[in-house]
Amino acid sequence: MRVRGASLVLLALCRASVFLLVVALVVIGAPVRGAGLRACTWHQVHVPQARSGLRDADLLSDGRILAVGESPLEGPGNALSMLWDGDTWRRVPMPVEGEVAGVAALTKGRAIAVGPGWNFGHAMSLTFDGEVWHRRATPTLGSGTVLQAVTPVSGTDRAWAVGAWDPGPHRGSQPLVMRWDRGGWTIALRKLPRARVLLRDVMTIDGVTWAVGSARWGSAHERTLALRHVPGHGWHIVPTPHPARFQALSAIGGTARDNLFAVGTRSIGPDDYRGYMLHWNGRRWRPVDPTRLPALRRTATLVDVAAGPDGDLWVLGRRHRAVPPDESPEYRYHLPLVLHRTGPGRWMTELLPEVPRAHPEALVAESRERIWAIGAEQFEDGAHPMVFRRC
């Protein structure tokens, strides 16, 4: 009986070990979602284009990725556009010079792009027909017009673009919101009373459009700004919290009308900044508590938000690094970092390869596992394109 009892105990232990092994394999495999036991990692992708930087990118309806940016070279055709065809990145000529800051995918492999243009004040826009860029007429206001971002109206060839314009000396910049359709651009918003404004990003979700940036009223410090457009009701300011002397929003993204995140930076002391994140629950904006997301304490700024097709959320930022004695202190904020939200209150930190002078700018969620981060790598002779890919 003792031998048989011992055998039963041994058999039970073996079965328990097998069960625990299966559970462990499932837990390990779950984050990679069908990729076997190979964990998803970030790696840098070669881009054959020197002395330039990437500012924004989007996934086209045909599966290609289109990125835009700037080149220090002068003359027509020197704005930067790169296309990923599934195997390599190649340059697509643009018939303009200067900086292109935002791009948005339309239908049938087409896209639209905007930027502040040359000398930062001569706004421009272009459309992409799937192979070639075409310049479009863009309204110019006051002594300078800047466009920073563009977003499509889902399922259409219409779009919204945001930025700012200068009404004249000592008057401060005013917000600029424009709407695109096949007939061209229409100005939708160009003034906020007694405010100096710069809008940096725009998105449309479930028919509602949001624009975010920063504003100053009178002599006050720079504060976050969120504008909302509901069809039939125009554009209106939605209050945002102001916990610091300085804070600004750089990007907005989300998975539903009542689940949005706006990200940027805030000051916590002289020349000391941290990443800043707000959450919209359908009723109000609230700051994300850094104690519940410790990685926020390690970031200097957050620059972009992208929603994956599975409902996950991805946030791109820059984190602190030690600065060697022979380097400029400005590079202490230039190591890239990604925050990955897999559910309510569930965040993971993913570190990208350490590029000491990285300047990350934008994210693209190509699939559930494949995420792209683009930007520029700073060198003494100028910037070089920088591209990271996950999995």
pLDDT (tens digit per residue) in 49-82: 667 889 999 999 999 999 999 876 655 557 889 9
**pLDDT at residue 307 above 50?**
yes
Copy the structure tokens of residue 357: 């002078």
Q: Give domain limits for the chain.
A: 41-390
**pLDDT at residue 343 above 50?**
yes
Distance of CA 356 to the CA centre of its chain: 20
> Model confidence at 35, in pLDDT bands (50, 70, 90)?
very low
**pLDDT at residue 368 above 70?**
yes
CA dihedral 285, 204, 55, 341 (to 10 degrees): 50
Cβ-contact 274, 297 below 8 angstroms? yes
- For residue 262, give Cα distances in angstroms to 162, 240, 305: 16, 10, 8
Copy the structure tokens of residue 145: 């017009």
Copy the structure tokens of residue 146: 């800047």
Distance of CA 248 to the CA centre of its chain: 14
Q: How far apart are CA 330 and CA 3, in angstroms?
A: 72
- What is the pLDDT, as a whole number, of residue 37? 39
**pLDDT at residue 318 above 70?**
yes
- Short-list 238, 194, 235, 237, CA closest to 216: 194
Distance of CA 94 to the CA centre of its chain: 22
Element (H, E) at 195: strand 195-205
- For residue 113, give Cα distances in angstroms to 28, 70, 135, 159, 218: 41, 12, 9, 10, 33
- Short-list 372, 293, 270, CA closest to 278: 293
Cβ-contact 314, 338 below 8 angstroms? yes
Q: How far apart are CA 44 and CA 137, in angstroms?
A: 37
Residue 318: CB partners within 8 Å, gap ≥ 6?
299, 300, 301, 303, 333, 334, 335, 336, 337, 358, 359, 360
Element (H, E) at 184: strand 184-189
In this prediction the pTM is 0.86
Residue 32 DSSP one-character state: G
Q: Which comes out higher in pLDDT, residue 80 or 260?
A: 260
Q: Which comes out higher in pLDDT, residue 48 or 332?
A: 48
Q: How far apart are CA 216 and CA 225, in angstroms?
A: 9
Question: Which residues face 260 on adjacent strands?
Answer: 254, 280
- What is the pLDDT, as a whole number, of residue 20? 43
Q: How far apart are CA 179 and CA 193, in angstroms?
A: 21
**pLDDT at residue 327 above 70?**
no
Which fold would CATH assign to domain 41-390?
Answer: Neuraminidase (2.120.10)
Identify the three-state secondary structure at position 346: strand
> Model confidence at 320, in pLDDT bands (50, 70, 90)?
confident
> Per residue in 93-138, pLDDT tens?
998 888 899 999 999 999 999 998 766 567 899 999 999 999 999 9
Q: How far apart are CA 304 and CA 252, in angstroms?
A: 7
Q: How far apart are CA 348 and CA 32, in angstroms?
A: 13
- What is the pLDDT, as a whole number, of residue 11? 42
- What is the pLDDT, as a whole number, of residue 208? 96
- What is the pLDDT, as a whole number, of residue 345? 82
